[in-house]
Each structure stands twice: as structure tokens, then as C-alpha cells.
Amino acid sequence: MLALVTRRGRLVAAAVYVSINLIAIQLTIALGPHVDDWQLFTSLATRLEEGDLYRTSPAFVWSPVAAWILAAVTAIGYWPWVVLHFLSLILVRPPWLAVLTLSSWAFWWDTASAHTMTFVFVCGLLAIRGNRGGSLAYLALTILMPRPIQFPLALWILWKMPGTRMPFAGLALGHAVLVILIGLHWEWIQAMATFGGASSGIGPARYLGIAWLAIGIPLGLWLASVGKLGWAGVAISPHHLPQYLLMPLLDLGRRNADSPTTDDHGDKNALQSAPPRRPR
């Protein structure tokens, strides 16, 4: 009986979640190639050529290496980029989580605004299921787009999957060398340091500003300690955007990652929550 009640409760919660998100999705469908983020991406090639990547409005605060990659992405066009967002959901498991993701406002906002959080989310799901390639892709995206919301899972990967540490160090070092060769390292550091994102987006940081971190960091540490890595990232983030609401779905994925599979030696055992009991 208890199992039946719990199942019904989950179905009701899922129905409420989908209903609320469907209403919000209606506000998003009208977005298209004219959306601000896509227009920013299409301007990156010119900015890089003129050497004013971080001096031109609207602000760009990701790595200059990410700018080169995104400038290349715009060559495929807005609509193929949108299709890639939908195709990435093929990798989401279990199927009900893929349905929740597809019905979330955060996914539709990220897709319609031509952003990248969907790919971060999918790689994060692969990582918590023990996939080495997904883990390294998540770490690479964190290097290229260092957002606080991604840090708790990145640290968890490095802690739980020792085999990712050396590749991560290599990626970080190679990235640093490229940034220095491009010659925009100091401008990038300054752009990140002066980014006024705490007053933008949604969430408590919009009203409390940087002071939110006095609450968010301890809250994030506690959430991470109880295994809520997605919510921990939301808590420590000094600003919140609609697509960030994808990250709490990671915690649902982690709860169902009971049998992780990986080709990384030793990482599968590291991901187990507890050692097997000895037979008596």
C-alpha cells in the first residue's frame, strides 16, 4: 500500500511539474535566430578578429577558446543548433527523466536561446552514471565555460573518478596555454571579475546580490554533502538564469544511477555508495 501511495505521489508531482512547465514554455517558443545569445555568438568571429572580445557589449565572459568554438558553431546555423539540443536527449536515461527534461521550461529556454546548458546537463548525467567520456566532456565544458553552478559536480567527478584527474589536468594546462597564445588571458580574467551577473536572471541573488553567497555557499556545501549536486550548484551560483533549472534534474539521475558502467579502471567501484557486505 505504501508503495502504491508513493507511486501515486510521484505521478501527481510529475503531472504538476509538467503542467507548470508547459505554461512557461508558451513564453519561450516565440524565440528564434534574433534572440540575444545567438546574436552574441554570431558576433564572436568579428570580435576575435578585431581583438575586442571582452570590450564590446553585450558582455562575453567565457574562455576565448570557447569563443572560437562558438564562432565555428554559428556556421552550422541556428536551426541545426536547435536540433542538436533535441538529439542530445537521446543520451538521457532513464526514459522518464528524458520526458521530464523535454517538458521542462529550462530545456526549451536553453534551446530556443541557442545556449549550451543542455549539453552541460547531458554530459553531467553521463558522468554521474560513471561514463568516462561524459565526465571528461563535462570537465572540458567547465573549463571553457566556468560557471559556479557546474563546480559541485566537477569536484565530485574528480573525487569519485580518479581516472579523470590526469586528463583534466592535461585539458586545463592545454587550455591555459591556448588562452595565453591567443593573448586575451588578462582581459578574460578582468571580464569574469567584473561581471555583474548577480543582479541578473532569476533567484534570490537578483535581490540580495553578491551577499547571497553568505547563504548560498554554506547551503551548497550542505546540499553537496547529502548528494544533491545539482541543487548545490544552484545554491552557490551568484546569478540564476532559466536554463540553470536543468541542473536539479541531475539529482534525479543520480538517484537512479544504481548500476554505473564505465571503462575507466577503478572508477566503477569508486562510484558505489557503499562496499558490498560479506556473506555470513
Domain ranges of the chain: 32-196
CA nearest neighbour of 115 among 21, 248, 245: 245
Q: Which residues contact 170 (CB under 8 A, 6 or more apart)?
A: none
Which amino acid is it at 39? Q
CA nearest neighbour of 98 among 258, 256, 268, 272: 256
Please give the Cα distance from 138 to 129 (Å, whole number). 13
pLDDT for position 266: 43
Q: Is the pLDDT of residue 4 over 50?
A: no
Q: Which residues pair with 201 in a beta bridge?
A: 240
The pLDDT tens digits of the residues spanning 174-211 come to 999 999 999 999 999 988 887 755 455 666 767 777 77
pLDDT for position 273: 42
Q: Is the pLDDT of residue 134 over 90?
A: yes
What length does the chain have? 280
pLDDT for position 28: 67
Q: Is the pLDDT of residue 230 over 80?
A: yes
Question: Quick check: helix, strand or coil at residue 103?
Answer: coil
Cβ atoms of residues 88 and 246 within 8 Å: no
Please give the Cα distance from 134 to 174 (Å, whole number). 19
Assigned C-alpha cell, 224? 553537496
pLDDT tier for residue 29 given thresholds of 50, 70 and 90: low
pLDDT tier for residue 20 given thresholds of 50, 70 and 90: low
